[in-house]
């Protein structure tokens, strides 16, 4: 991934970074971001904002992922149905027991091959095997784990996987705001960017005091500033 460079852009880097942050952090469309910037006296079209997200988003997400601590060894896997280009597809998601998104993968089928592909990406990306994996009662997961030789404890149940099921909610909100995804490639790109930003700013505010929340919020913004700084 090449380093970030805001050279030869009409707008200052601070405005570009802020526009990207607004779009990825909140449930906003490109036109919503355009309106918010216009209210602050910054005249920029939504198409320009879209190009900024496409150009700088992957590098920013990569930097944010590098700043994240090692995830918990207890993983939750789940999938949800999304309609992309008129076709039903599956958005497979893996999170740890603290809610950090480990991987998001869009696939056509909900079978052993799909479960195996998701697990291989997880093992390659994080470099270690989990000690416990929680899924729903889909048998494809167990078959994929046996084929990969995964020795982690496999827990299955309808309510034991609430951690992964709740993690789908932000994407559902974005899906409605975007009036559904237009293609599998654009959907995969967006959910990958969204997951990196979500991990950074998911502060679990209902579990901490107000003072601790301010500290965590400052740390998240510092991580964002570091990840979006030009080389």
pLDDT given for residue 2 in this prediction: 67
Provide the total of helices (H) and of strands (E) in the chain, helices listed first. 9, 5
pLDDT given for residue 178 in this prediction: 84
User: Domain coordinates of the chain in residue numbers?
Assistant: 1-67+196-231, 74-182
pLDDT given for residue 24 in this prediction: 95
The CATH number given to 74-182 is: 3.30.420.10
Report which DSSP code applies to 207: G
The contacts of residue 88 (CB under 8 Å, 6+ apart) are: 81, 82
pLDDT given for residue 231 in this prediction: 64
3-state secondary structure of 31: helix
pLDDT given for residue 1 in this prediction: 62
pLDDT, mean of each 10-residue run, the chain (231 residues): 84 96 95 96 96 96 93 93 90 91 92 94 94 91 93 85 82 86 90 93 82 93 94 64
CB-count exposure of residue 157 (10 Å: 0-12, 13-18, 19+): exposed
pLDDT given for residue 155 in this prediction: 92
pTM (two decimals): 0.90
Joined together, the tokens standing for residue 32 give 């919503």
């Amino acid at each position: 991934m090449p380093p970030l460079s805001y050279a030869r852009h009409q707008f200052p880097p601070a405005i570009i970074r802020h526009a990207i942050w607004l779009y990825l952090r909140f449930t906003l469309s490109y036109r919503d971001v355009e309106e918010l910037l216009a209210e602050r006296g910054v005249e920029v079209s939504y198409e320009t904002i879209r190009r900024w997200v496409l150009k700088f988003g992957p590098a920013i997400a990569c930097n944010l992922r590098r700043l994240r601590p090692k995830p918990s060894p207890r993983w939750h896997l789940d999938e949800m149905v999304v309609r992309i280009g008129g076709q039903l597809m599956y958005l497979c998601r893996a999170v740890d027991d603290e809610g950090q998104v480990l991987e998001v993968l869009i696939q056509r089928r909900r079978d052993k091959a799909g479960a195996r592909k998701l697990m291989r990406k997880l093992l390659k990306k994080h470099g270690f095997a989990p000690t416990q994996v929680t899924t729903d009662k889909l048998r494809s997961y167990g078959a994929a784990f046996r084929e990969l030789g995964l020795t982690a404890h496999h827990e299955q149940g309808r309510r034991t996987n609430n951690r992964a099921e709740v993690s789908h909610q932000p994407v559902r909100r974005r899906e409605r705001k975007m009036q559904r995804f237009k293609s599998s490639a654009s959907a995969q790109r967006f959910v990958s960017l969204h997951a990196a930003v979500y991990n950074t700013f998911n502060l679990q505010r209902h579990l901490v005091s107000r003072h601790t929340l301010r500290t965590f919020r400052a740390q998240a913004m510092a991580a964002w500033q570091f990840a979006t700084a030009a080389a």
